[in-house]
Structures are given as C-alpha cells and as structure tokens.
Chains A and B, each alone.
Chain A
Amino acid sequence: MLKMTHLSKAFRTEVVETYALRDFSIHVREGEFVAVTGPSGSGKTTFLNIAGLLETPTGGTYELDGQDVGALGDDARSHIRNQKIGFIFQAFNLIPDLNIYDNVDVPLRYRKMSSAERKKRITEALERVGLSARMRHYPAELSGGQQQRVAIARALAGSPKLLLADEPTGNLDTQMARAVMQLLEEIHRDGATIVMVTHDPELAARAQRNVHVIDGQVVDLGEDPKLHMNVSRISA
C-alpha cells in the first residue's frame, strides 16, 4: 500500500539544513494497522506528511497504492489525497465556519459527486461515529472527543484506502481517547489501512505493528504477538 525507500527530507532555512528524515525505508501492506512512535522531533509528522502527499521528499522513492507518486504534479497529488487518503489530525482541524454536516461535506465537494450520493455518505459517516443528531451544530459547540469523531467521519466519508492519523488522541482525555481508538479499530476491521502516530504506548500496543522513529530513521519493532491477542480479544 505504502512503500518508501531510502527516503530523505531536508528542511532548508537560510542558515541551516536539517534532515527530518534520513534513509527512511518502510513498507506498509494493505490492511495493516501501524502505530508510529518516537521522541518529539524525530520525524513522525514529516513521515505522515510525505505519506499523505502533503509534503514532497527531498530524495528517495515513494510508491503509494502501487503508483510512484514522486513525479506527480500538484493537482494529481490533490486528487490522490482527496480520493485515497483520509486524514485525522491531533488538532481535529474542523472548519470553524461550517457546521458538522458541511465539514464532512468538504472533501466530497472536491470530487464530482452527485448531491444525493454526498448526502448518503455524510449521513452514514456521521451515524457511524454516533453524531447524526449534531449535524447542524458548529465545531465550537462540541467536545474535543466529538470533534475528533467528526474529523473521523470526514475522513471516512470519502472511503479512503489509507487513513493517516497524527496523534489523533493527543488532545483528548483517556476516556475519549479510548472511544476514538475503538472507532479506528472498527474502521481497520472493515478493511482500511491505518498509519497512526501516537505518544501513548497503550494505544500503540493495540496496533498490529509498531514502527519506532528515532532521529529520522525507522526502527521497526515488527508484529508483537501480544498485540494480536489484544486485537482478537476485542473483535471476539
């Protein structure tokens, strides 16, 4: 699904050049749920940004869903983001001027999709996260956990193949974090590939596979058998 080889990302300012990623190689298979951990500043967000086509790497190759995306233009990258990728951010990133319904509608509007189809998808997605009753509310009127569920609904509505989450529970208390995690696990069970950055070891332990990033490089912790037990216990 996602294959990076010898990827590097340098940020150049006038004075210094810092490498956020260096010789970064990773392969995420279709249907995997990968948790990415690592110290602050190690390059996790940079990795997700490149994976989600929000930033371009300085070197190396990146294949997404079997396609080399290195040479694609801005519009093509926008279309791929819109159709194949769902984003969940730490800060929820809902649009404050739009109500919940319209927020979920945003990515669908960028596709040429009939309004009936959009309506169906929005209602389904909001039902799935349990917020159908709040459609006409504005983000500011919801709790953090509810806002993050709206963001998940927004990501789901486009039925993406790849879900990228950057510390999705970072701004939530434990209880809300668990609810969000549960939701992600359900989505994963339905077939989505998920890459999630988290600082929470408990949450990381619930993923199929853990990837540790240190200093812009991957330390793959592989598949922990303990995790499989956890997952099967929840799904049972």
Chain B
Amino acid sequence: MDFMPIIAALKRQKTAAALIAIEIALCCAIICNALFLIIHRLERSSIPSGVPENELVRIQTTSVAEDPDVDARARAALQSLREIPGVQGATLINQVPFGRSSWNSGLRLKPEDKNTIVNATIYYGDAAMLSTLGAKLIAGRWFEESEFGDFATLLGAPDGEQPKIVIITRQLGQKLFGNENPLGREFAFGDVPVRVIGVLDHLVRPSIFDDATADCSLVFPVRMGAGYGAQYVLRTRPQDRDAVIAAAKKKLAEAMPNRIVLDTKGFDELRDENFKQDRVMAGLLIAVVVSLLVVTALGIVGLASFWVQRRRRQIGIRRALGATRGQILRYFQTENFLIVTVGIAVGMAAAFGISGWLMHHYELPRLPLYYLPVGAVALWLLGQIAVLAPALRAASVPPATATRPV
C-alpha cells in the first residue's frame, strides 16, 4: 500500500487525525505503565516462599491466665501434636512466612561497621523446623541438637550468649557477600559476629517491605516457648488439614489449659491474605486499562465512521475510477495504521515520562523497555479492530455514488 497519497490527504485533516493520535498516545502511555504495575503486583503475589504452602498450617495461641510452666507445657504440647494421625511434622517457631508480624534486624558485615547492608528477618526455630517447613537446604548443614538454645534463656542474656552460628537464604547471602560463597563467612548480628553454616534456597519473610529483599531471612537455633508470638506449624496433606486442625485444637486445650487457640490458617491462606491488596489493586488497574481500551476503540470507531460518512462521495469517486473494495478497505486500514503509529510514537515518549515520575514519587522500578513493543502491537491491533467496521462500510459504498450523490 502506498503511504504517500494517504499522508497527503491526511495533511488536510490535521485536527481530526491529531485527535485520534493524541487519544492513542495517552492510551499508550497510560496502558504501558498500568500493565507494568499490574504485572508487578501479580508477580509480587506469586513470589516463591520456599515451603509447600498447601501442606502447612500455623496455629497461634494466647494465654488467658498466668502459668509459670507454660514453656515446658508448650513443648510437651508440640510432642503431642506430632502424635496426631496425618501430621507429618510439627515445629514451634517465632514467625511464619506471609504471617505479617515479623522480627527484623539490620545486618552489618563487622560489628564496628557504621552502615547496615541489608535488613533481614529473623526466624527462631527448633530442630524440627527444617523438615516441617520443607525448606530446601542448598549448601552447608542444618543445626545439630546440641547447638539449640532456649528463647527464655536468651531473652535476658548478654550479647555474648547469642547464637554464633546461623543459616541464611541464598538471597541474603548475595546481599551480604555478593557472588562469593557465603558458607563459613561471618557477619555482625547486633554486636555479635555470626558464622554462616548453611544456605536455604528460599524462605520468604512474614511481611514484604521491598520486593528486592523479600527472601532475606536468617535462622538461629533457638527453641521457642509459648509466648512472644510463638506459633505451632504442622505439616499435613491438604486433604487431612481440617481433621488435623480439629485434633490439634483438642490436644492443645488438654496440654495447656491456660491458653486458647487464637487462629489456625494454612500457609496458602496466609499468602492470599498477604497479597489481597495487591490483587485488588491489580484488578482495579485492569479495569482502568480495559475501560481505556474500550474508550479509545470507541473513539476510533466514532471518528472513522464520521470520516467514512463525510468521504462517501470521494469513496464513490475512487470506486468509479477503478478502486476495488479491497483497495478502499485497505485505504482506511492504512490510514488508521499511520495515525496510530504517530500516536504510539508520542505515547512511548509519554510512557517513559510517566514511568520516570512514578519512579521518583513511588519508588517503582523503571518501565522495562520490552513493554513498548508489546504496547505498540496491542494498540495497532486495537486500531485495526476498531477501524474494521467503518472501513468495511466504506468498502461497500457503491461506485454509482460518484454520479448520484445522496
């Protein structure tokens, strides 16, 4: 198809053509960024946790009366939970992935360093933590029985009695030591140097402040008691979950008469809750994108129809001079393609402008370049779909219109 005569004719229709181009440009700019935000949100909510979420349940308890022996009872209860049929593992830890409430600390390489390198979340877990959570150890080893301390002892103890060994996630290793092997390396936890003895593939944080550090977790060999947010985690097959929870509630009530169960939830449910906001936001943005596309498409349909109506006569003339229906159809399709292309070009510049502004004000990453060709193709398609009906109407203008104007 020849562009030149179409461009020549468009020069005489600048306002209308510019209107469509601007509409496309706005649509392009907004949609590129909106799509990016949507995908960003959805990607967040599918972040790996490193644990089989549908097999894990957490049980939170709270005290209703003083009980000096509560820690001992809590550990006895843990033992009794393991006896429930269908329970494949049970552990008592201070926080759970996606559980929202979390213990965090800024880490430095050496105690004397001024600046923290990264903020990480701190898991305290017992010997059964690894097997119950099903997290994957990719280097080093898990803690030995003799290495575990009690949280209650740790609590009022001086820094020197903190654990000196730690297991970290791969991501935390990268943040701390770059590409070097973290195994055997030391960093400062508070004022205490700790040595890395194992590396986990993934273990997501209870709450994600920043996507780039979502997996920055470390585990200390510390047995929890009943208080301080300690939670039971049970591993069970999904189909046994309800029965196991019911049985666990009974066991806990028997073992700890002064505590009641506050909450039981599967890890999958915790993830859902954690990212509810993101999903709502993504849904909202999708609605915005769809309405914008519809409005833009309608704008194109409207203006193209108006144009076809106004140019009926010249379409008839072109037909009389030998244009086939296909040639008329392609004329309008090409015209739309040209206008949309101008709109896309302007829109991409605007997309980058908006992206820069979002980056600056909302600490979002820069719009990746590959969104632009994707957006362009989407808008070209949109334009072609929208112009099809008016263009077909144009193609059906009878050639006799040239001699019998209506």
Binding site for B on A (CB under 8 A): 45, 48-49, 52-55, 74-75, 78-79, 81-83, 87, 89, 91, 93, 95-99, 102, 105-107, 109-111, 138, 154, 158, 166
**Chain A residues in 8 Å Cβ range of B319:** 54, 78
CA distance A83 to B322 in the complex (A): 8
A45 with B404, Cβ < 8 A, contacts A54-B399, A95-B9 known: yes
Residues on B lying within 8 angstroms of A by beta carbon are 2, 5, 8-9, 12-13, 313-314, 317-327, 398-400, 402-405
Quick check: B317 and A81 within 8 Å, CB to CB? Answer: no
* CB<8 Å pairs between A and B, sample of 24: A45-B404, A48-B403, A49-B403, A54-B320, A54-B398, A75-B325, A78-B323, A79-B324, A81-B321, A82-B321, A83-B322, A91-B405, A93-B402, A95-B317, A97-B314, A98-B5, A98-B8, A99-B8, A102-B9, A110-B318, A110-B323, A110-B327, A154-B321, A166-B403
CA distance A52 to B326 in the complex (A): 20
- Contact residues in A for B324 (Cβ distance below 8 Å): 74-75, 78-79, 110
Separation of A228 and B327 alpha carbons in the complex (Å):
43
Query: Taking CB as reference atom, which chain B residue is nearest A155?
Result: B321
Whether the Cβ atoms of B2 and A97 lie closer than 8 Å is no
Question: For residue B322, which residues in chain A have a CB less than 8 angstroms away from its CB?
Answer: 78-79, 81-83, 107, 110-111, 158
B325 A97 Cβ-Cβ under 8 A: no
Judging by beta carbons under 8 Å apart, are A109 and B2 in contact? Answer: yes
Given A91-B405, A102-B5, does the pair A49, B400 have CB atoms closer than 8 Å?
Answer: yes
Closest beta carbon of chain A to B157's beta carbon, Å: 88
Which residues of chain A have C-beta atoms less than 8 A from B318's C-beta? Answer: 95, 106, 110
The residue of chain A having its C-beta at the shortest distance from the C-beta of B399 within the complex is A54
A102 and B404 alpha carbons, distance in the complex (Å): 24
A residues in contact with B405, CB < 8 Å: 91
Q: Give the complex CA separation of A20 and B398 in angstroms.
A: 18
Once A79-B322, A106-B321, A107-B321 are accepted as A-B contacts, the answer to whether A96 and B314 lie under 8 Å apart by CB is yes
With both chains docked as a complex, state the minimum distance between the C-beta of B315 and any C-beta of chain A, in angstroms. 10
Set A87, A95, A102, A105: member contacting B314, Cβ < 8 A: A95
Question: What residue in chain A is nearest B315 (Cβ atoms)?
Answer: A95
Measured between beta carbons, the chain A residues less than 8 angstroms from B314 are 95-97
Smallest Cβ distance from A76 to chain B, in angstroms? Answer: 9
Q: How far in angstroms is the closest Cβ of chain B from A113? A: 11
Bound CA–CA A51/B317 (angstroms): 16
A107 neighbours in B (Cβ, 8 Å): 321-322
B20 to chain A, nearest CB (A): 16
Which of the residues A82, A83, A87, A97 comes within 8 Å of B9, measured between beta carbons?
A: A97
Leading 10 A-B pairs by shortest Cβ distance: A82-B322, A97-B9, A107-B321, A97-B12, A78-B324, A54-B400, A54-B399, A110-B322, A81-B322, A93-B317
A89 touches B325 (CB 8 A): no
Question: Which residue of B is nearest A48, CB measured?
Answer: B403
Contacts of A79 in B (CB 8 A): 322, 324
Residues of B within 8 A of A110 (CB): 318, 321-324, 327
B317 A75 Cβ-Cβ under 8 A: no
What is the minimal beta-carbon distance from B406 to any residue of chain A, in angstroms? 13
